[in-house]
Structures are given as C-alpha cells and as structure tokens.
Amino acid sequence: MALNRSIVWIDAGGRTQITLLRTSSGGATIETDILALMNADWINEWEGTLNINASPAPSTSAYPSVLQQATLVFLCADGTSARLDIPAPMLSIFLADGVTVDPSAITTLIADCTGNLLSPSLSPVVSYQSGILVKRP
C-alpha cells in the first residue's frame, strides 16, 4: 500500500509551498526531519491512501495546461475569502471574453462549495464572488 502525505509550509513572509511525500508506511517522521532543517513551519498536513487513475484522459481543448487555471473566489461567513483553482479549465465555463468565469456554468460546483469549502480561517463559504482565468509562468 502507498500513502500520500501533503504538507503546506508557510514562511515568515506568509508565502506557502506544498510538498507531496509518497511513502509505504506514512510520512510523519520524514515531515519531522524536514521541519528540523528549515526556517518555515507547517500550516496544514494530510495523509491518505494513494489512489491511481490507470487511464487518465486529459483533453487538448482551449486551456489544456495545468498552468492555466480558473481561480474562483468565494465569500465566507466571517468576511474572509476562500479560493478554489480549477487547473486546465474547460472553455465552456467562461464568458465570451474567455477570461471571466460564468457563474451559471458552474452552479453545481458553487452549490457544493457553499457551506462546505472553508477559508484559511476555517469559515465556511456563503456565496460565490468571482472567477477569472490565471496563467502561471
């Protein structure tokens, strides 16, 4: 059995980075070892069984790269925001400009995020605010 452990690190400037550890028996000890060798600290971590899609079938449509993403912003109960990124988004979720997310095209996702998705302050989403196409270098 293989396990994936994801760790989100935070630095003194508030910047974050994620590390993925794939192990046979769990990554807690490795995480502790890494922590002893860095100036950053962990902010979130999770671990679970590795699930493998034996036959992935990505599309080559308009935004095929995972470096292109639709970044969605939601308002949370305490006034903070939660962000959700959709890598390699389908062109059909955008308005005619190809940049602005059309909320009517993502109604199921918005409904599933409302009351469930949390901001960094752990406040639940109450409404969708906006979404745009972001291209990472």
Judge if 72 and 131 occupy the same domain.
Answer: yes
For residue 35, the model assigns a pLDDT of 92
In a domain, 12, yes or no: yes
For residue 137, the model assigns a pLDDT of 76
Judge if 42 and 74 occupy the same domain.
Answer: no
Phi, psi of 42 (to 5 degrees): -85, 145
| Residue 44 lies in domain | 3-49
In a domain, 59, yes or no: no
For the chain, what is the domain count? 2
For residue 47, the model assigns a pLDDT of 95
Judge if 85 and 121 occupy the same domain.
Answer: yes
In a domain, 62, yes or no: no
pLDDT band at 60 (very low <50, low <70, confident <90, very high): confident
Judge if 72 and 36 occupy the same domain.
Answer: no
pTM: 0.72
Check pLDDT > 80 for residue 79: yes
In a domain, 37, yes or no: yes
In a domain, 40, yes or no: yes
Q: Report DSSP letters for 11-36, one per residue.
A: -TTS-EEEEEEEESS-SHHHHHHHHT
Judge if 44 and 83 occupy the same domain.
Answer: no
Q: Indicate the pairing of strand 41-49 with strand 81-87.
A: unpaired
More confidently predicted of 53 and 76: 76
| Interatomic CA distance for residues 85 and 18, integer angstroms | 15
User: Which tens digits make up the pLDDT trace of 86-136?
Assistant: 988 999 999 999 999 999 999 999 999 999 988 888 899 999 999 999 998
Judge if 76 and 129 occupy the same domain.
Answer: yes
Angstrom CA distances, 30 to 39, 92, 134, stand at 16, 42, 33
In a domain, 10, yes or no: yes
In a domain, 58, yes or no: no
Rounded average pLDDT over 45-57: 86
User: Which tens digits make up the pLDDT trace of 9-46?
Assistant: 998 888 888 999 989 889 999 999 999 999 999 999 99
